[in-house]
């Protein structure tokens, strides 16, 4: 399980982005609402689920692809010798002078 996922320079994302499952400090007036959606352990409050929504071409699929690339790196890091060709060619390409 991960709490936060940071990524950048990937497909349509130039700058560093953060996808967090940490719940905000805001509290609902309906205490039953939080019980079903927030997991609390000591001082950590995590969301049990999170939705990704937005307009067409806003990067939803690219976020999922960044997570899939991360999962591939972690799960295959020991099994794969070298870096598979084409895996890291998804750098940000919407600016010609961007090459981080």
Residue 35 falls within a domain, yes or no? yes
Residue 63 falls within a domain, yes or no? yes
Q: What is the mean pLDDT of the chain?
A: 80
**Per-residue pLDDT averaged across 60-89, rounded?**
76
User: Structure pTM?
Assistant: 0.70
Domain that holds residue 51: 4-76
Residue 96 falls within a domain, yes or no? no
Give the residue ranges of DSSP H helices in the chain: 31-37, 60-76
Residue 67 falls within a domain, yes or no? yes
Please give the angle made by the CA atoms of 45, 16 and 39, to the nearest 5 degrees.
10
Total structural domains in the chain? 1
pLDDT at residue 3 is higher than 60:
yes
Residue 92 falls within a domain, yes or no? no
Residue 83 falls within a domain, yes or no? no
């Amino acid at each position: 399980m991960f709490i936060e996922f940071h990524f950048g320079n990937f497909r349509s994302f130039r700058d560093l982005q953060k996808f967090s499952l940490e719940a905000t400090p805001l509290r609902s007036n309906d205490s039953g609402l939080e019980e079903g959606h927030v997991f609390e352990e000591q001082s950590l409050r995590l969301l049990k689920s999170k939705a990704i929504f937005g307009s067409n071409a806003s990067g939803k699929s690219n976020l999922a692809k960044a997570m899939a690339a991360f999962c591939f790196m972690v799960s295959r890091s020991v099994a794969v010798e070298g870096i598979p060709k084409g895996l890291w060619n998804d750098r940000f390409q919407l600016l010609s002078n961007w090459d981080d």
